[in-house]
Amino acid sequence: MGGEILYNSILFIVSILLLFVACYTSFDLFQLVRSGEKNSRFLFLASTFSMGFGFWIMSFLGMMVNNIYATASYEVPITVLSMLIGICFSGMAFYALLDKEHNKHRIYIAAFFFTLSMLSVFIIGLYSIGSSIRYNLLALIISFLLLFIGFSYSIWRSFYQTKLGRIPAKWISAFCCAVITIVTIISQLLLISHTTPIGWSNISSDYYNSFIVYTVLFISILILGGLIGTSSLITETLSVGDINVRDMQQALDESSIVVFTDNNGIITYVNDKFLEISKYNRDELIGQTHRIVNSGYHPPEFFKELWRTIGKGDIWKGEILNKAKDGSLYWVDTVIVPFLNKKGIPYQYVSIRRDITEQKNLQLQLEEKIQEVIDIKFALDQSSIIAFTDKRGKITSVNEKFCFISGYTREELIGKDHRIVNSDYHPKEFFQHLWKTIANGEVWKGEIRNKTKTGTFYWVDTTIIPFIDKNNQVYQYLAIRNDITEKKKTEEILHRQDKLAAVGQLAAGVAHEIRNPLTSIKGYAEFLSLDEKDQSRQELFDIILDEIERVNSIVEEFMLLSKPTIAALEKKELIPIIENVLSVLDYQLRKSKCKVELAFIEKHIEIECDENKLKQVFLNFIKNAIEAIGSGGTIRIDVKKEKEIKITIQDTGIGMDKEQLKKLGEPFFTTKKTGNGLGLMVSFKIIENLNGKVYIESEPNKGTTFHLSFPVVV
């Protein structure tokens, strides 16, 4: 009796050990199948056979412990059938777990087939020793539920749980196989105690010496050794794979932010770098979507396009602004790779991100600086004349305002130096000082008179800035200019008006003091000449009277300068006035062989003036032009009506230098051999009284241009 108990105990322990090893080996082999290892079909069959055979050996040895096999009616074919059916149901269970989408309802399908596998092995095994079975329905239901719950829990922990519990990851498989072993043993004992096959006799002889006992034990030892060897081989294979995976994961963890999500976007795995940058812990992230780090920066269409791309199985790449738990923002360069099942449908996604916050901030700062430069350039282009030159003074870039004011195209300016607009107004020493200043890396400021492509002059207030490289050498210059032509004209006009005001004040006093005694002198001279009979002395009196008349005419001109305004102004046609003056000067023009060109777009231009005084102005200017030309030149008169009435009188005469131009209009200054210089001064005064302006341009041997402007008559 004691030997029988020992023998039963050994069989019971062996059955438990074999079932545990079979379950552990089966789960390890199936993990390789799920991870996509090579020879997955062979591994699937091996895991299926291991589990089914484990159930059968447990059931077989359990019956032996209960002396069931000590019967002459033992049917081997039925026993083999029970083994095959158990293996088939195990295969169906594992097939249900071939689920890359991680649909959790498959846990219960697999648990159901594992339960059927265990129960079918036991029940069909009973038929191998009896023609029929008497069983307890309640015990059968309890066994089914116990097995179903145990298998469901083990499958979930082994293949579907995402969060790590208290049990270390390396012990999960062993723990789950232990759970399966325990519930199987309990179910087996429950079924054995409440189920009895009909038609067998309980023989208590030395059944453990029978042939079938030793045969099963021998086979069991072989299977146990094979399972242990297979398990060792699998462990070694997995160990090598784990090292590779660990190395790859470590490399990714050191360089990238890695996140796994299911096909619904639920986070199933995050690495430490994600925790570090997001400031969340792992429990706060697992089971959530990426809305937890949404910064609200991107519009909904951005994420719709993202999901549309990966939903089709395509890889998405882009930059995303996320928000950490503490509210801080960070940029990540993101690649989202969908994992596809056999049907080509994504079942999970892996996001590999790289922190580019610092790079993005620098990029944004750079964009802001670029925009600031663009704005500054736009402002300068709208207000100033801009030109870049290299260190040798060759123009490398100009803006539209430079082209507009100079009359040259950009192609005509690029590659040239500023001699192309040199007016020859400034002496060589002027530009030598300019170049010496900027070549030393200093900023130069001053006023320059330039010449357009058509030959007209313009003044620019200029600032030239040298650009210095890292070697403290000048490599280019930036010239910023502002058109001050009108300012220079205004200054000249104001200067002339000041001179006219001073002369007018002088004229008022001089004319009064000279005219009265001059009248007396003229009267006495005429009286004395009446009694003079000597012809030679009479000629002297005539000379005296001519000089007195000349002085009197000068006094008359002074009197004109002393008058502040013209008494009455009337609206008159401008073109007929000019044509009348030209007809008066026709003989002198033909005598000097001067050609006159009168150009106007609109003939009927009215001007508010004193007609005789305005004629005097045109007579003075045109006569001066004729005398400056000498013989065989051209006088061009242009009349335009814009915001003002503009009249230019341009000759091809000898011109004037800048010193003569400065003195022009001063009393008793003239460039002619005869004359007193008061004619121009009187003309300037008349123009001023007509609310007009006059500006003069001249260059030696290139002629003189008078620019007149008058208000438009309303």
Burial 558-571 (b: 16+ CB within 10 A, else e): bebbbeeeeeebee
pLDDT at 201: 47
Both tokens of residue 178? 């232990």
pLDDT at 170: 66
Q: For the segment 545-577, what is each residue's pLDDT rounded down to a tens digit?
A: 777 776 776 666 555 555 555 557 888 899 998
- DSSP state at residue 293: G
Residue 256 has pLDDT above 80, yes or no: yes
Look up the pTM and report it.
Answer: 0.44
Query: 573: number of CA atoms within 13 Å, CB side?
Result: 8
The full length of the chain comes to 714
Q: What percent of the chain has pLDDT over 70?
A: 74
Cα–Cα distance measured from residue 583 to residue 589, given in angstroms and rounded to the nearest whole number: 9
Residue whose structure tokens are 């738990």:
325
Phi and psi torsions of 580, nearest 5°: -65, -40
The most confident of the ranges 193-202, 213-222, 447-456 is 447-456
Instruction: Specify whether the CB–CB gap between 79 and 55 falls below 8 A.
Output: no
pLDDT at 68: 46
Bridge-based pairing of strands 693-699 and 634-641 is unpaired
Instruction: Specify whether the CB–CB gap between 310 and 316 falls below 8 A.
Output: yes
Residue 508 has pLDDT above 60, yes or no: no
List the alpha helices (DSSP H) in 630-677. 658-663
Both tokens of residue 310? 């990966």
Cα–Cα distance measured from residue 411 to residue 403, given in angstroms and rounded to the nearest whole number: 10
pLDDT at 309: 93
Mean pLDDT throughout 483-489? 82
Strand order in the sheet with 346-355: 267-270, 257-262, 346-355, 329-340, 316-323
- DSSP state at residue 156: I
Q: For the segment 635-672, what is each residue's pLDDT rounded down to a tens digit?
A: 999 999 888 899 999 998 888 877 777 666 555 555 55
Confidence of residue 250 (pLDDT cuts 50, 70, 90): low
Q: Between 118 and 510, whose confidence is greater? A: 118
Instruction: Specify whether the CB–CB gap between 301 and 312 falls below 8 A.
Output: no
Query: Which residue segments constitute the domains of the chain, with CATH numbers given?
Result: 9-234 (no CATH), 256-362 (3.30.450.20), 370-477 (3.30.450.20), 490-560 (1.10.287), 570-711 (3.30.565.10)
- DSSP state at residue 159: I
Q: For the segment 523-538, what is each residue's pLDDT rounded down to a tens digit?
A: 767 777 776 677 777 7
Q: For the segment 281-325, what is each residue's pLDDT rounded down to a tens digit?
A: 988 999 899 999 999 999 999 999 999 999 999 999 999 999 999
Nearest to 223 by CA among 427, 92, 83, 93: 83
Residue 69 has pLDDT above 50, yes or no: no
Q: For the segment 364-415, what is each residue's pLDDT rounded down to a tens digit?
A: 888 888 888 888 878 877 888 899 999 899 999 998 889 999 999 999 999 9
Both tokens of residue 103? 């649909």
Q: Between 584 and 419, whose confidence is greater? A: 419
Instruction: Specify whether the CB–CB gap between 333 and 356 falls below 8 A.
Output: yes
Q: Between 16 and 349, whose confidence is greater? A: 349
Residue 393 CB contacts under 8 Å (≥ 6 apart), including other chains: 417, 418, 435, 477
Cα–Cα distance measured from residue 479 to residue 386, given in angstroms and rounded to the nearest whole number: 6
Mean pLDDT throughout 1-17? 61
Residue 444 has pLDDT above 90, yes or no: yes
Instruction: Specify whether the CB–CB gap between 603 and 644 falls below 8 A.
Output: no
